[in-house]
Chains A and B, each alone.
Chain A
Amino acid sequence: MNSGTMPQAAASDAPRGAADAEELSAWLDGELEDPAAEPVLAGLLRQPHLGRQFETWCLVGDALRSGEVLAGHSPRLCARINAALADEPALLSPSALRPRTKRHLASGFAVAAAAAVLVFVAVPQLRGTDAPAVATALAGSGAAPAAGTPVAPAAAAPAGPEAVASLAAVRPARDPRLDPYLRAHRDFMGAGVMPAAAVYLRSGNEGER
């Protein structure tokens, strides 16, 4: 009853098997592009006969390249390693579970967050108390500097009497009780280790005059 259908099925399987094997051969050489590679790999891991073909072709490659490599073959070694492998737990690496694209996105967000911190936290601190308004204005106008780009206050400041008023406005608020201390330590001003501190030291010096 089935005698008519069985050979037919076998005949239709044979070309598919050959095609699978040819694809496997191309995959072994790294010549199969990603969408086609995935099913071949799945077949290789699932179908024992493809696994045996893979092993024999690896041996053929080694034999062609060097008789010396072939001499290193020990039929027992594979079995020994696989037996030892059976005692090992299956791996589950979180990095393999995470798609690579997500990782790229995450790093992009990290860069954006760093730039935002620079604009909204670091720049205002360097400029003084009134600077947040400037930073906010810069960010609001879409002219926020890129990360790592130094901000030049002189370029942003208006010229003339407005400039003086503007500078006075950005002068940091300082407790007048600090002035004697700053005067006493003015010899250390301009040391350059912490350039941001120079603003305070200079302010103390000006107050003395």
Chain B
Amino acid sequence: MSERDADLQLVRRVQLGDKRAFELLVSKYQRRISRLLSRMIRDPADIEDVAQEAFIKAYRALPNFRGESAFYTWLYRIAINTAKNHFAAQGRRAPTVVANDIEDQENGEDAGRLSETATPDSLYQSKQVGLAVNRAIDQLPPDLRTAIVLRELEGLSYDEIAAAMNCPVGTVRSRIFRAREAIAQELRPLLGTSEDERW
């Protein structure tokens, strides 16, 4: 199973009438979609409108999604088309951003644009969250830190991490879970939520 398969399991649940599964997909991908849209749209309010429209369009089109591509790839295309329609509705042309350029930026370091469009409040909060994450990472025991970095930053599978760290896969699984929990614990007060609340 891969992360793509995990998404596909959620998609199948949505296709069987479970809206909650779609809410989980929204909470997983809303930041990436907002970031993508910020490459094309400057106004933060418009970004939210278009993101919402894109997710609802995706929900309506989900019966036709057969899993031939990753869910995010499919959602990403819907978001781009929704943004183009947004410009067309305003009688404007979408900025000539080639999809490949956006993909490069999605994966790459060029991250300046969203900072230009985000509100001061959201910028401040994201900066605080970023600092808290760094602080949490610094405080992690080295084994946990290595495991979570190899997983989240390098995208290695558990088998690959086990080979790199010379330990059983079960240990990798436990270390990643504990690292996630430690970082989440650091973030909770900042996000104004307890374990039982939602951000």
Using a CB–CB cutoff of 8 Å, the interface residues on chain A facing chain B are 21-22, 25-34, 37-38, 41, 44-45, 48-49, 51-78, 80-82, 84-86, 88, 90-97
Contacts and interface: CB of A to CB of B under 8 A. Distances in A.
A91 B199 contact: no
Query: What class of interface size applies to chain B in its complex with A?
Result: 35 or more
Q: Do most interface residues of chain A lie in helix, strand or loop, or is the interface mixed?
A: helix
A77 to B, nearest CB: 5
A85 B59 contact: yes
Given A31-B1, A64-B153, 11 more contacts: A29-B151, A30-B6, A54-B28, A58-B28, A68-B115, A72-B114, A81-B52, A88-B56, A88-B59, A91-B62, A95-B63
B158 interface: yes
B173 A72 contact: no
Contact of B34 (A51, A61, A74): A74
B77 interface: no
Q: Do most interface residues of chain B lie in helix, strand or loop, or is the interface mixed?
A: helix
A45 B21 CA distance: 7
Contact of B15 (A44, A45, A51, A93): A93
Contacts of A53: 184
Contacts of B1: 30-34, 37
Interface of B: 1-6, 9-10, 12-24, 26-28, 30-35, 38, 44, 47-48, 51-52, 55-56, 59-60, 62-63, 66, 111, 114-115, 118, 122-123, 125-127, 129-130, 133, 137, 148-149, 151-153, 157-158, 173-174, 176-177, 180-181, 183-184, 187-188, 193, 195-199
A206 to B, nearest CB: 56
A96 B127 CA distance: 42
8 contacts: A26-B158, A37-B1, A45-B18, A45-B24, A65-B153, A66-B35, A85-B22, A96-B16
